[in-house]
Structure 1
Amino acid sequence: MSRTNARRWLSPIAMAVAAACISPASAQDVDVAAVEARLVQMEREMRELRALLEGHRGTAAPLPATTAAAPPTATAASAPAPASAGAATPPRNPMMPGAAPGTAFSFGGFIKFDAMTTRTSDGQIADGSPGRLFYFPGATPVAPDGQGRSSTYSDVHAQFSRFWLGADTVTDAGKTIKAYIEADMYGGGSNAFAGNETITNTYALTLRQAYVSYNGWLAGQTWSNFQDVAALPDAVDFTGPSEGTVFSRQAQLRYTRGPWSVSVENPQTTVTPYLSQAARFNSGDDRLPDVTARWITRGDWGHFTVAGLARRFRSGDASTSGAALSVSGRVNLGANDDIRYMVSGGDGIGRYLGFALGSDTVLDADGRLHSQRGYGGFAAWRHAFLPKLRGNVIYSVASLDNDPLLTGGSVTERAQSFRVNMIYSPARNLDVGGELSWADRRLENGLEGDLQRVHTHVKYSF
């Protein structure tokens, strides 16, 4: 825009606003000082706008976008095209003057309101713990037959509301550098860090993802390469089939080329003491990263993927190895139906399965370390009854192959859950859902408990 054109519309704006300030009142009611102060402010803003227009004078490139238009997994529609030889340097973003030239910003997230009533057959899940916010299979209380006492309680929260910020920069070579950061208000699943439900219901900010990617490489924290996020069902609960799901976010270095991806990821060994004489703990002694590899194929029919995991466990001077395999995918059955599934298992799958339902390793009487075997999976059917109404049926199970001579009888042997939901979308990006779920957990010594929950939510994505 030229200086002449800028003046053509800037001056009338000033006159119109000044007139608006005076005309509604009679002369004796006019605050002359306030009007003069407002005019001075407007003149300053117009000078700033003229300076901005002069900075873009003679440049044909449009201003980069500053608001979200696409999810972080897609290339932002507003990102400038790669610069050709001899082309002018892309302008800096006026909203972020320190950003690299040619950077497009995106922002998004959702607000999620959860309200649920839970009944547990053998005691109560501790208030303020993760199991009160979403289905956490290891939290289901257990007791001997006839000795448990049922309990019913309700919880309401908005802790899973989240936001993300992305920045895509196109280099002179035409390649994209992507930065992405995401957080929610989960606060580690406890209100002990930031507040309580007595007055303010404040919760701590939780880092979910923070990474940078370039030319096939990714460095930072994101979902494990061993996890297939795209296979997760459409649940009202935070995850849904928790016990049968590979679920892990952690720091990693990943390389992707075509359908293949490999990664080295943050190691952590969970250890069950001999005969469970003490609580399970994280060793903190790991020296080698967890290594993963994945192959995936996609089409209009859905997707199918296979992932492998190799680990080296260490606790003190004791060490051992483990490996696991996961097969998952989604099959589209026409326009209104799809099936989603996952099957995973192996020695040392431990903390990757079911929110660490089982331990990675167990110590024997001599202090030697043994990897633990576990298996899990889920199947989910999604059906769209109407364009704005859909439902899901989900079953999930995990089985842990413990050696009671090493672990004792107080560790989880099996957990399973079943849920059905209906989700209505009265407007774009707005979901109102209800879900009924049932779950049970059994220990090696035969103690068992079950859970029933009615869970509703309102979720608006932006």
Structure 2
Amino acid sequence: MKRTLIASFCLGLSTLTAAPSAALAADAELEQRVKQMEQQLQELKALLQKEKGERAAQVGAVNDKVADVAKAAPKDNLKIGDNTTLSYGGFIKVDGMYSDYNDGPRPANIGDEILVPSTIPVGGVGEGAQFDSHVKTSRFFFKTATNTDVGVIKSHVELDFLSGGGDERVSNSTNPRIRHAFLDWGYSDNASLLVGQTWSTFFNVGALPEAVDFIGPTSGTIFNRQAQIRWTKKLGSGSFMMSAENPSTSLSDGGSGIAASNFDDNGVPDIVLRYNGASGGHSYAVSALGREVSYDDGSLSENEFGFALNLAGKVVFANGNDIRYSIAHGNLGRYIALNAFRDGGIDAAGNLELTDITGGYIAYRQLWSDKLRSTFQYALSTADLAPGLASSNTETVENFEVNLMYSPTPKLTFGGAVIKASRELENGLDGELNRFQVTAKYAF
């Protein structure tokens, strides 16, 4: 019996000592399984996060495409296909002006409607002030933007009415004229190709100040639209442009007997290189122009290479006021002051001599309130006329404008301006224009 009790005690003791070992083994296995489950859970989370990132990237790509199309056309565009939007806009502009030509009769041409420095009469007797009003600078445009598998393709067609037509006695009708007609292919995120008629690449339109007149600093600004092919490449915060543009030559007679004329005998396009940059509130463009100036009247012919530079930009201050400027020099000819100067002249031997021109403007805009503002602007161009040209050719043009503009709502503007302009010939004869102009403009 004793042996039985001892045996039973020993068996119980062994059972008690074995139980903790079994429990420890079970705990270790459970811990291992928990670790495996935690690892699998982490892997699952990583997989879900990856899929979420890929989906976000896909959605972002789609949104980028949508944004490209949105940028390609103004707001309020119409969808005319799965990938194409159509937009239209423009403005109605009504102008009224009192013009006093001090040194000759009124020009009775486009100079009565917008400031054209070369039409200011010189060396005569003025007729007193005349009043004119018109709507000819009103314009409208159509744009499209199409998202394709090779990039966004844009188009732009724009017209205004500064081409004449009827008269003022009955209908005041006028013919529409084409301003812009081009396509712009954005074949990558940072490069595009433009083909068609639009502003010359040599002209920084963004530096042009607000004016009551059609242009404003006409006597000193580059101003040209023509057919071209233009390549644009983004470079960081700036861009580089290169274009080949439609050429034309405008010459005076310097003793050759060949009548002053506009010639279309150029064999190569005008070439423009331009860099657009920005630093803080200062945006600017530096442009270089190379062009062939040539003529052929059947008996005499010659060509010369011309070169010019232009720097134009805008500085915006913290309070919203800004300064805009442009300075250009070289064989500018028809590119500046609405062709106030010809490209050069033909001397008695038939030789072609080019004219050097320097011109520019400065403009300051003052914001009086969120609805009222003024711009003070001055423009000047002067020519070093080619040898042999008659002293009756224009040597200097200049103009000044100060305006007051009121916009009760952003798209509706009423304004008035005092404009003074002058033209002087090389022989010293000069003429002045004093103009008071009012305008009403509604953009749509």
Which TM-score bucket, shorter chain as reference?
0.7 to 0.9
What residue number does 2:184 align with? 213
Instruction: Choose which of 345, 348, 351 in structure 2 pairs with 1:362.
Output: 345
Q: 1:268 to 1:73 in 2, by over 3 A?
A: farther
Q: 1:283 to 1:74 in 2, by over 3 A?
A: same
What residue number does 2:19 align with? none
What residue number does 1:330 align with? 314
Cα contact 1:137–1:441 (8 A) shared by 2: yes
Shift of 1:277: 6.2
Give the residue type in structure 1 aligned to 2:267.
R
Alpha-carbon displacement from aligned partner over 1:198-246 (angstroms, at most 9, x marks no partner):
1000000110000001121000000000000000011100011101000
What residue number does 2:17 align with? none
Give the residue type in structure 2 aligned to 1:430.
L
Equivalent-residue separation in structure 2 for 1:121 and 1:104 (angstroms)? 52
What residue number does 1:89 align with? none
After TM superposition, list the pairs within 5 Å mapping 1:123-138 onto structure 2.
123-127=104-108, 129-138=109-118
Equivalent-residue separation in structure 1 for 2:409 and 2:320 (angstroms)? 19
Give the residue type in structure 2 aligned to 1:283.
F
Matched, 1:436 2:418: yes
Matched, 1:385 2:368: yes
After TM superposition, list the pairs within 5 Å mapping 1:47-196 onto structure 2.
75-76=73-74, 96=80, 101-127=82-108, 129-143=109-123, 148-173=125-150, 175-187=151-163, 191=164, 194-196=165-167
Cα contact 1:79–1:102 (8 A) shared by 2: no
What residue number does 1:51 align with? none
Give the residue type in structure 2 aligned to 1:449.
G
Please state whether the residue corresponding to 2:227 is helix, strand or coil: strand
* Identity over aligned pairs, percent: 34
Cα contact 2:322–2:364 (8 A) shared by 1: yes
Once the two structures are overlaid, the 10-residue window that deviates more, 311-320 or 160-169, is 311-320
Alpha-carbon displacement from aligned partner over 1:363-413 (angstroms, at most 9, x marks no partner):
01111111111010000000110100000100110001014x511111001
Equivalent-residue separation in structure 2 for 1:207 and 1:153 (angstroms)? 29
Give the residue type in structure 2 aligned to 1:197.
E
Equivalent-residue separation in structure 2 for 1:264 and 1:148 (angstroms)? 45
Give the residue type in structure 2 aligned to 1:161.
S
Give the residue type in structure 1 aligned to 2:328.
S
Alpha-carbon displacement from aligned partner over 1:307-353 (angstroms, at most 9, x marks no partner):
0000011101211110000001000122231000000010x210001
Equivalent-residue separation in structure 1 for 2:350 and 2:116 (angstroms)? 30
Equivalent-residue separation in structure 1 for 2:225 and 2:374 (angstroms)? 28
What residue number does 2:18 align with? none
Please identify the structure whose Cα radius of gyration is greater.
Answer: 2
Alpha-carbon displacement from aligned partner over 1:79-102 (angstroms, at most 9, x marks no partner):
89xxxxxxxxxxxx5xx5xx6x41
Please state whether the residue corresponding to 2:368 is helix, strand or coil: strand
Matched, 1:253 2:234: no
Equivalent-residue separation in structure 2 for 1:238 and 1:77 (angstroms)? 25
Q: 1:131 to 1:72 in 2, by over 3 A?
A: farther
What residue number does 2:272 align with? 292
Q: 1:447 to 1:77 in 2, by over 3 A?
A: closer
What residue number does 1:226 align with? 202
Alpha-carbon displacement from aligned partner over 1:16-60 (angstroms, at most 9, x marks no partner):
xxxxxxxxxxxxxxxxxxxxxxxxxxxxxxxxxxxxxxxxxxxxx
Task: Give ranges in structure 1 of 5+ residues lacking alignment.
Answer: 1-60, 81-92
What residue number does 1:237 align with? 213
Equivalent-residue separation in structure 2 for 1:394 and 1:381 (angstroms)? 6
Please state whether the residue corresponding to 1:263 is helix, strand or coil: strand
Cα contact 1:79–1:170 (8 A) shared by 2: no
Give the residue type in structure 1 aligned to 2:376.
V
Equivalent-residue separation in structure 1 for 2:432 and 2:345 (angstroms)? 26
Matched, 1:341 2:325: yes
Equivalent-residue separation in structure 1 for 2:210 and 2:152 (angstroms)? 31
* Aligned structure 1 segments of 4 or more residues deviating by more than 6 angstroms: 70-73
Give the residue type in structure 2 aligned to 1:459.
K
What residue number does 1:54 align with? none
Task: Give ranges in structure 2 of 5+ residues lacking alignment.
Answer: 1-61
RMSD value over aligned CA atoms? 2.2
Equivalent-residue separation in structure 2 for 1:280 and 1:309 (angstroms)? 24
Equivalent-residue separation in structure 1 for 2:255 and 2:129 (angstroms)? 33
Give the residue type in structure 1 aligned to 2:148.
T
Equivalent-residue separation in structure 1 for 2:75 and 2:212 (angstroms)? 30
Shift of 1:75: 4.6
Equivalent-residue separation in structure 2 for 1:354 and 1:280 (angstroms)? 18
Shift of 1:74: 5.1
What residue number does 1:25 align with? none
Equivalent-residue separation in structure 2 for 1:72 and 1:380 (angstroms)? 33
Equivalent-residue separation in structure 2 for 1:277 and 1:410 (angstroms)? 16
Q: 1:276 to 1:353 in 2, by over 3 A?
A: farther
What residue number does 2:392 align with? 410
